[in-house]
């Protein structure tokens, strides 16, 4: 069986929406952060697949920068989680409503 670009895009789409479902259905802020990582990774798969099938290195470069941004995002995100936990003693996002009025 031959694997085409569409197969990779389908895989990326399925993984992306599993991440979306994780964000929508879970209340644990750590698992929500992990689901966003999953979504970033699915975009990376699509970019690498395009890079492979179009013979261009640009997609791979983009993935490298996405990984940099993901690492920075996780560092700051987890710092925010620690601060929130120190103030609220919970990781349930429905309790994080201090910006709501």
Partner 1 sequence: MQGLMFMGTAGIAVFSAIMMITRKNPIASIMYLLLTFFCFASIYVILGAQFLAAVQLIVYGGAILILFLFVVMLLNLREGEMEEKPAPVWKTLGFVLGVGMMLVALSYIVRTPETVAHVEASRELFAMGRVDFIGKALFTEFVFPFEVAGVLLLAAVVGAVALAKKNRA
Q: Which of the residues 73 through 92 are near partner 1 (CB under 8 A)?
A: 73-76, 78-83, 85, 89-92
**In sequence order, what are the residues at sequence separation of 6 or more whose Cβ sits closer than 8 angstroms to the Cβ of residue 23?**
32, 35, 36
- Residue 98 near partner 1 by CB under 8 A: no
How many amino acids of this chain bind partner 1 (CB under 8 A)? 72
Tell me the three state secondary structure of residue 64: helix
Footprint of partner 1 on 7-46 (CB under 8 A): 7-11, 13-22, 24-28, 30-31, 33-35, 37-38, 41, 44-45
- CA-wise closest residue to 30 among 85, 72, 71: 85
Where would I find the H helices in the chain? 5-25, 29-53, 58-88
Q: Minimum distance from CB of 94 to partner 1 (Å)?
A: 7
Q: Minimum distance from CB of 101 to partner 1 (Å)?
A: 21
């Amino acid at each position: 069986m031959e694997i085409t670009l569409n197969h990779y895009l389908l895989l990326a789409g399925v993984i992306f929406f599993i991440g979306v479902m994780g964000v929508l259905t879970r209340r644990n802020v750590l698992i929500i952060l992990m689901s966003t990582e999953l979504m970033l990774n699915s975009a990376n798969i699509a970019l690498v697949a395009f890079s492979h099938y179009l013979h261009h290195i640009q997609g791979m470069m983009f993935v490298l920068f996405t990984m940099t941004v993901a690492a920075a995002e996780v560092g700051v995100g987890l710092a925010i989680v620690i601060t929130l936990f120190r103030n609220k003693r919970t990781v349930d996002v429905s309790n994080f409503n201090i910006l709501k009025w």
